[in-house]
A and B are shown apart, each in its own frame.
Chain A
C-alpha cells in the first residue's frame, strides 16, 4: 500500500486559496488518489478523486503531476466552514474501498 505524507496542519484566512500537498512516492500504476474531508464529530465526506493531470469539481481541484508521486488538493476561496481535517488516500480502488488507508490527515484552520 502506498504510504502518504501530508502536513499535519495548515492555517488560512477566509477568501484565500488553499493548497494541500500529499506525497506518495511509491504509488502503484493502478492506484488512484482520493481526498476526503472530515468535520468534527462527523464521518468523512468524499471530495475528489483522480488518476493523473487535473480533476475539477464544484468543490475543489486536484492536481497530479506526470510522475504521480505527489498530488495537490486546491480549495478556492475558503470560508470558515472549510475548517476540517483533509485526508489523502492512495490505493487501487478496483481491489476495494477498504484498501484505501486513512492517515492522520491535514488539519485546516480557516480564520476570519
Chain B
C-alpha cells in the first residue's frame, strides 16, 4: 500500500516562474491537506480539499496560490510568479475521513527553492 506520494521532491524555480507541486493521496483517501514549512518552524496549514471541492482555504495566501483536487489524478498546488519568500518545504497529507481518531498520513514533501 503506497503512502502519500509527492513530486517532485525538489524543485528549483527562478523568480517569476510558476511552480506546480503534485500530491497523490493514499489509496482510498479522499481528503487532502497542504502545509508549508519554513526552516526551523512548524507546519502551517494552507488548504483542505476533497475531490473537486475546496473545503477550507483559510491558510492560503490570497494571491498567486491555488489548489485543486480533480476527480481523476493528483492534487495540485500551484504557485504563480514565485518569489524568494515562497522557498519552503510543502507537505501534503491525506486521510480517509474526518472525525474522531482521524489519522492523516503525510508525504515526504516538495522542497521548493526560488533563485
What sequence of 0s and 1s flags, for each residue 79-112 of chain A, a beta carbon within 8 Å of any chain B beta carbon? 0000000010000011111100111110000000
Q: Tell whether A97 pairs with B42 under 8 Å between CB atoms, given A43-B93, A43-B109, A46-B104.
A: no
Report the minimum CB–CB distance from B24 to chain A (whole Å).
14
- Name, among B93, B104, B108, B109, the residue most crowded by chain A CB atoms within 10 Å (CB to CB): B104
Q: CB within 8 A of A96: which of B42, B92, B98?
A: B98
Give every chain A residue within 8 A of B99 (Cβ-Cβ). 93-94
Contacts of A32 in B (CB 8 A): 100
Docked complex Cα distance between A45 and B111 (Å): 18
CB-contact partner of B43 in A45, A93, A94, A102, under 8 A: A102
Task: Say if the beta carbon of A49 comes within 8 Å of chain B.
Answer: yes
A29 within 8 A of B: no
CB pair A94 B100 closer than 8 Å: yes
Question: Which residue in B48, B100, B103, B109 is a CB contact (below 8 Å) of A98?
Answer: B48
The answer on a CB contact under 8 Å between B102 and A97 is: yes
Q: What chain A residues lie within 8 Å of B40 (beta carbons)?
A: 104
CB pair A93 B45 closer than 8 Å: no
Chain B window 1-36, contacts with chain A (Cβ cutoff 8 Å), 1 for yes, 0 for no: 000100000000000000000000000000101010
Write out the residue numbers on chain A whose beta carbons fall within 8 Å of the beta carbon of B31: 97
CA separation between A87 and B93, bound complex, in Å? 16
